[in-house]
């Protein structure tokens, strides 16, 4: 509107007093109601403020803030470290529609009130519906709404373990597991992996030797190795956990991206399994909504963990998640993300095709075996000199030495052009070879 443009240009300054409705109407040759409507709209947009008995004053333009670029990108760095979904125009359109729908809702004010720790019934039902799409039987009364996957992990471990207890984890695991375990003062013990994932025989050994409380696992698109645990192993792992009476904490945040994933491990031992999923990893990282499907007797303990940390998941966020599940928006965004990852996987093969790496057509990361004589620290430093941010391999290691491999996040760079440029810089670094520093004695 013209008033906003005048403020933005500096023709009107904060604190300036505006003419009365009648005076401005006479100057412009319009009716008083027309000016009144314009003043009301300007006030709604934050340009003006009215003081009874004094008049109407300029508050200053409320400039819309551009969406911030990731911090590393602002610094000119191409980020292959952060594993995040790509956010683009489709997300903006869906979010705008949801916010407009929320603005018209007669229950909007309810979103500002205190909520149950486990979430509103409608939000728990939406979470159960999302979990059901994995093939599990999920009920709203067994579903707890959380503020994303890491929050889910925290509240589940808080529910089933006490300080000093031992938890088993894959020997290469998502770094968030280590940080949560440290915060809760839990001991992590590694379970061996091969190309198919957890080795059941080593799981059995670890259970006998360490008497753990639980096994943490990511059976589908394992982070960082991208392995997908075969059905037979999933069944055997469930049997071993039942034999040793330990809980299963199954992290399936990447499952919806994968073509026809096997049934969750939870399928084979539902009475002791906590199934964790999230909307953040498959749609948008800012949508901090996760869900825990817990055994019936443990739902209260998990909800208490939510109460002790965030009191409840922000209901406006949970409502958007619920709307997107009900409308099919989440599924549309998952399909969009799958197409984006597929394109980036093809670029990966064209630029780094000479390397040995593990990937899946729609997995968000790849696990690259480094050619000799490279070691992860050397490549990370060589990448840094070329403006690349690469994941520290030792951050994924649970009680083992780091392998000669790195994880590459396919969607860390915000555009395909930057992604391809980053891969070419990485290829140049690998072709140049590591820079050895001679030490004189």
- Output the domain CATH number for residue 277: 3.40.640.10
Give me the CATH number covering residue 36: 1.10.10.10
Of residues 260, 29, 266, 250, the one with CA closest to residue 152: 250
Q: Report how many domains make up the chain.
A: 3
Q: Is the pLDDT of residue 8 over 70?
A: no
**In the chain, what is the straight-line distance between the N-terminal and C-terminal CA atoms, in Å?**
74
Indicate whether 297 and 370 sit together in one domain: no
Name the domain boundary from 287, 307, 329: 329
What is the pLDDT, as a whole number, of residue 50? 61
Tell whether 15 is covered by a domain.
yes
Indicate whether 399 and 357 sit together in one domain: yes
Render pLDDT for 166-176 as a digit per residue (tens, 0 to 9).
999 999 999 99
pLDDT category of residue 76 using cuts at 50, 70 and 90: confident
Indicate whether 44 and 147 sit together in one domain: no
Q: Which residue has the higher pLDDT, 93 or 190?
A: 190
Q: Which residue has the higher pLDDT, 71 or 416?
A: 416
Q: Which two tokens stand for residue 286?
A: 């800012």
* 3 state DSSP class of 290: strand
Range of the domain at 33: 2-58
Q: Is the peptide bond before 396 cis (omega within 30 degrees of 0)?
A: no
Tell whether 221 is covered by a domain.
yes
Of residues 398, 358, 360, the one with CA closest to residue 189: 398
Tell whether 440 is covered by a domain.
no
Render pLDDT for 50-72 as a digit per residue (tens, 0 to 9).
655 567 777 644 444 444 455 55
Return all residues near 213 (Cβ < 8 A) that are at least 6 apart. Answer: 160, 161, 165, 166, 167, 246, 247
Name the domain boundary from 329, 363, 392: 329
Indicate whether 129 and 187 sit together in one domain: yes
Q: In angstroms, rounded to a whole number, what is the distance separating the alpha carbons of residues 363 and 267? A: 22
Indicate whether 221 and 323 sit together in one domain: yes
Indicate whether 271 and 146 sit together in one domain: yes
Indicate whether 299 and 361 sit together in one domain: no
* 3 state DSSP class of 437: coil
Tell whether 66 is covered by a domain.
no
- 8 Å CB contact between 205 and 258: no
**Model-level pTM?**
0.82
Give the mean model confidence (pLDDT) for residues 219-229.
96
Q: In angstroms, rounded to a whole number, what is the distance separating the alpha carbons of residues 256 and 279? A: 10
- Angle of the 416-432 helix axis to the 376-385 helix axis, nearest 10: 120
Indicate whether 411 and 421 sit together in one domain: yes
Per the prediction, the chain carries an average pLDDT of 89
Q: In angstroms, rounded to a whole number, what is the distance separating the alpha carbons of residues 190 and 389? A: 27
Indicate whether 335 and 316 sit together in one domain: no
Indicate whether 143 and 227 sit together in one domain: yes
Give the mean model confidence (pLDDT) for residues 336-344.
94
Indicate whether 383 and 422 sit together in one domain: yes
Tell whether 200 is covered by a domain.
yes
Tell whether 97 is covered by a domain.
yes
Widest distance between CA atoms in the chain = 91
Q: Is 246 exposed, middle or buried (0-12, 13-18, 19+ CB in 10 A)?
A: buried
Edge-to-edge strand list for the sheet holding 273-278? 143-146, 290-293, 273-278, 247-251, 214-217, 166-170, 187-191
Q: Which residues pair with 166 in a beta bridge?
A: 187
Give me the CATH number covering residue 391: 3.90.1150.10
Phi then psi dihedrals of residue 102, to 5 deg: -65, -40
Tell whether 230 is covered by a domain.
yes
What is the pLDDT, as a whole number, of residue 88? 85
What is the pLDDT, as a whole number, of residue 42? 67
Tell whether 126 is covered by a domain.
yes
Of residues 385, 387, 363, 398, the one with CA closest to residue 434: 385
Name the domain boundary from 312, 329, 346: 329
- 8 Å CB contact between 399 and 70: no
Cα 199 off chain centre by: 28
- 8 Å CB contact between 333 and 94: yes
What is the pLDDT, as a whole number, of residue 37? 74
Element (H, E) at 310: none
pLDDT more than 90, % of the chain: 72
pLDDT more than 70, % of the chain: 88
Q: In angstroms, rounded to a whole number, what is the distance separating the alpha carbons of residues 297 and 186? A: 23
Render pLDDT for 355-409 as a digit per residue (tens, 0 to 9).
999 998 899 999 999 999 999 999 999 999 999 999 999 999 999 999 999 999 9
Indicate whether 258 and 153 sit together in one domain: yes
pLDDT category of residue 336 using cuts at 50, 70 and 90: very high
What is the pLDDT, as a whole number, of residue 62? 41
pLDDT category of residue 437 using cuts at 50, 70 and 90: very low
């Amino acid at each position: 509107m013209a008033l906003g443009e005048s403020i933005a240009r500096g023709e009107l300054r904060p604190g300036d007093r505006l003419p009365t409705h009648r005076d401005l109407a006479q100057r412009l040759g319009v009716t008083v109601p027309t000016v009144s409507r314009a003043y009301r709209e300007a006030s709604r947009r934050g340009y003006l403020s009215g003081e009874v008995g004094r008049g109407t004053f300029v508050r200053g333009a409320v400039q819309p803030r551009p969406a911030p670029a990731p911090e590393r990108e602002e610094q000119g760095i191409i980020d292959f470290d952060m594993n995040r979904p790509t956010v683009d125009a489709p997300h903006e359109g869906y979010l705008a529609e949801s916010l407009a729908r929320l603005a018209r809702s007669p229950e909007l004010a309810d979103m500002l009130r205190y909520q149950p720790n486990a979430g509103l019934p409608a939000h728990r039902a939406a979470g159960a519906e999302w979990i059901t799409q994995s093939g599990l039987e999920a009920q709203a009364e067994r579903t707890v709404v959380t503020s994303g996957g890491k929050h889910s992990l925290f509240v589940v471990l808080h529910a089933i373990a006490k300080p000093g207890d031992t938890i088993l984890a894959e020997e290469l695991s998502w770094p968030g597991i280590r940080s949560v375990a440290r915060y809760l003062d839990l001991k992590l013990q590694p379970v061996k992996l091969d190309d198919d994932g957890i080795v059941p025989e080593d799981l059995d050994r670890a259970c006998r030797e360490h008497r753990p409380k639980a096994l943490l696992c990511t059976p589908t698109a394992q982070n960082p190795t991208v392995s997908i645990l075969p059905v037979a192993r999933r069944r055997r792992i469930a049997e071993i956990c039942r034999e040793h009476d330990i809980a299963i904490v199954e992290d399936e945040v990447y499952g919806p991206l994968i073509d026809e994933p096997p049934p969750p491990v939870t399928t084979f031992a539902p009475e002791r399994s906590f199934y964790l999923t999230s909307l953040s990893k498959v749609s948008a990282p800012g949508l901090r909504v996760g869900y825990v499907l817990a055994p019936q007797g443990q739902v209260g303990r998990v909800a208490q963990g939510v109460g002790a940390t965030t009191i409840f998941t922000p209901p406006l966020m949970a409502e958007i998640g619920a709307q997107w599940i009900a409308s099919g928006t989440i599924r549309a965004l998952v399909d969009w993300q799958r197409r984006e990852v597929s394109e980036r996987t093809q670029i990966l093969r064209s630029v780094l095709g000479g390397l040995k790496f593990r990937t899946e057509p729609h997995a968000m990361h790849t696990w690259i075996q480094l050619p000799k004589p490279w070691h992860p620290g050397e490549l990370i430093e060589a990448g840094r000199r070329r403006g690349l941010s690469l994941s520290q391999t030792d951050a994924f290691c649970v009680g083992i030495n780091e392998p000669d491999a790195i994880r590459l996040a396919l969607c860390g760079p915000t555009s395909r052009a930057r992604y391809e440029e980053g891969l070419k810089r990485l290829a140049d670094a690998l072709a140049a070879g590591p820079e050895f520093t001679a030490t004189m004695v």
